[in-house]
Amino acid sequence: MKRLLAVALIALAVPAAVSGATTLNVFAAASLTDVLPKIDRAQRYSFAGSDQLALQIRQGAPADVFASASPKYAELAYRDGYVQKPVVFAMNKLIVLVPRSNPAGIKSVYDLRRQGLKVVIGDKAVPIGTYTRQILDALGITADVMSNVVSQETDVKGIVSKVALGEADAGFVYRTDARPVASRTRTVALPGWAQPPIRYEIAVVKASSHAAAARAYIKKVTSARGRKLLAAAGFGLPPKPKSKSR
């Protein structure tokens, strides 16, 4: 009995990582900061611009899963052999975010052409910056709005922060980014016809030594519960894959 008790106590003292549980390093776009831990809080998350994360993976950073806010970075990583085949798991839309007091009186994206405004956008290397430039081009107001840009951030959270703190009159962000700062900001809708397609892709990093656990994590993100939490956070959802008939 004493020997059995000693074995039980040793088992309790063994850390989870040693006893079989795997903690994954999930590299994910900054716009996923709030939702992914709700889907699985047991993992170790690194949130940043998708371009930065893709570069770190190429340089050998210890990542197990890569979740990108743009197909571009996931597909390039797949093409070059750094990740397994990516899958689309979420979608999004762009909005204009303004401070709650809206001192500049911005009611439409076209108001951003007025001289003297302080507009914040994403750097052209990150997905939010690329999407912003695409919609400005579609609306035909690139030159006027860009003349008011006072800061180009390396991830979307930097844009949200500056607008929420009143350091900018407006910023281009994802629809989902407005929810956590709803008490301090307002949103201005953008024309649906000008919206670029925004798709998030997720993949297992080939260098991972926990490929099975990484695949299980992706399965959790794309599960019915994962989709429900993504939708609750304001993300769009891709169609469910059709089951093959026998």
32-87 residue pLDDT tens: 999 999 999 999 999 999 999 999 999 999 999 999 999 999 999 999 999 999 99
105 and 223 together in one domain = no
117 and 165 together in one domain = yes
Classify residue 147 as exposed, middle or buried by CB count within 10 Å of its CB (0-12, 13-18, 19+). exposed
Q: What is the pLDDT of residues 96-138, one digit of tens each?
A: 999 999 999 999 999 999 999 999 999 999 999 999 999 999 9
190 and 100 together in one domain = yes
- As given in the structure block, the two tokens for residue 246 are 């026998």
113 and 159 together in one domain = yes
36 and 116 together in one domain = no
Residue 59 belongs to a domain: yes
Residue 240 belongs to a domain: no
86 and 101 together in one domain = no
85 and 204 together in one domain = yes
Owning domain of residue 222: 23-91+199-232
The residue assigned the tokens 């912003």 is 132
Residue 174 belongs to a domain: yes
74 and 163 together in one domain = no
Compute the distance between CA of residue 137 and CA of residue 134 in angstroms, rounded to an integer. Answer: 5
Show which of 175, 194, 213 is a domain's final residue.
194
With 70 as the cut, is the pLDDT of residue 245 above it?
no
The count of structural domains within the chain is 2
The CATH number of the domain holding residue 128 is 3.40.190.10
128 and 141 together in one domain = yes
104 and 87 together in one domain = no
